[in-house]
Amino acid sequence: MTMNSTTDTSAADFMDLLAQPEHTGGAHLFEVFPWNDNFNTGNALIDEQHKRLVDLLNQLAGTLVSNRECEVEAAFTELAAYADYHFSAEEEIWSECFADDPWLHNHLAAHGAFLPKVQDLKRPGSGQALYQQIEGMVKFLIRWLAFHIIVEDKRFALVVAEVQAGVPLDEAKLKAERKMGASSVRLLIDTVLGMYESLSSRTLNLLRERRARVEAEEKLRQAYVDLEAANRRLEESAITDDLTGLFNRRHFDAVFAAELARARREGSALTLVLLDLDHFKRLNDTYGHVAGDAALVTVAGALREHCRRAGDYAFRLGGEEFALLACSSSPSGRGHELFEAIRRDVQALAIPNSRSATAPMLTVSIGALVRVPQPADTVQTLFLEADRLLYEAKQQGRNRIVCG
């Protein structure tokens, strides 16, 4: 394959290149039979036509990419038509020198057998897949063209050169035979080695292109992974409190509405717990905001420990206000034991709050509502009722629970 781009070619560029029948310089993408200077006979017209035949052969090989019958037929038809034209032109040139010589008759016979053989290879109903038919034709054409040009046409060209120099035809044929006998094997070896070197170079280019494509695909895959991770982080930041890592008020509103609908649909109990840290402003004023933030993070960790079930959620609503949501099969499923455990665990954290009027350490007041939703219940009515229960807990002296 003749690819001139460097190893930094992108995957998109590479795929675009594959989609093109030709690219820079007019060279076909698939050059299975690269032209070699050893094919030159010395006759400019014949050499030009031979190059065109080789070009059309590579074009036919290129249809292996698409494997479309219409493209194969078009490439084959063009090759066959040009081969017929070339044979006529070549025969006219050789006949001027060889007249009725047996060499010319044998050459004409080889020309005559060419197209029927190729037609036979592409005959429908052969039982072969289309790509197998193409490969068979290409392999035959490579062998036929190489030996026909190197052995037959170069010999004819040598004879013509001798005759034009004044040597009689029979003597010219003998001289041509001697020259071909001495050099044809070496010529074939040089030609094959030259073609092998050219194909090896193209193979290395292909490998470099393939590596570039793999690297480009890997970069694209990593970019996609990074984008997904960034999207996840963005989604998480939209619903998460930056300080505590709990869900935020925005997510609370969305989850509350969804859980209320689920509880109403399933006839299950919905538990809503509102919590307020007692005299938290005094803690901030006494110990500073850094200590206050640390206290909020510690309390959030304790609340998280009580939300290990799939349907349990912990939120920081703002400031020192927190909330829990849970859905259970019965009103007694998430009751006073849970609330008391939360109150006790917060107090057990022993976070100093010396100026609190309730206790020398940080405590929490809780308003808890457990209910199987009724038709009249809404997010707003339930929240207001839980908030009223929290207010009662504060009015009764804080560091306590009021349930509804």
Known catalytic residues are 320
The DSSP 8-state label assigned to residue 151 in this structure reads I
CB-based contact 133:61 (threshold 8 Å): no
Q: What is the DSSP string of 80-115?
A: HHHHHHHHHHHHHHHHHHHTT-HHHHHHHHHHHHHH
Nearest Cα neighbor of 163 from 47, 39, 48, 43 is: 43
Name the token pair of 351.
Answer: 């976070």
CB-based contact 393:365 (threshold 8 Å): yes
Beta bridge partners of 272: 325, 369
Q: What is the DSSP string of 302-318?
A: HHHHT--STT-EEEEEE
Query: Who contacts 29 (Cβ-Cβ below 8 Å, separation ≥6)?
Result: 1, 2, 3, 17, 18, 20, 21, 22, 23, 62, 65
Name the token pair of 192.
Answer: 């094959």
Which strands sit side by side in the sheet containing 321-328, from one edge to the other?
313-318, 321-328, 269-277, 364-371, 401-403
Helix, strand, coil % over all residues of the chain, rounded to 5: 65, 10, 25
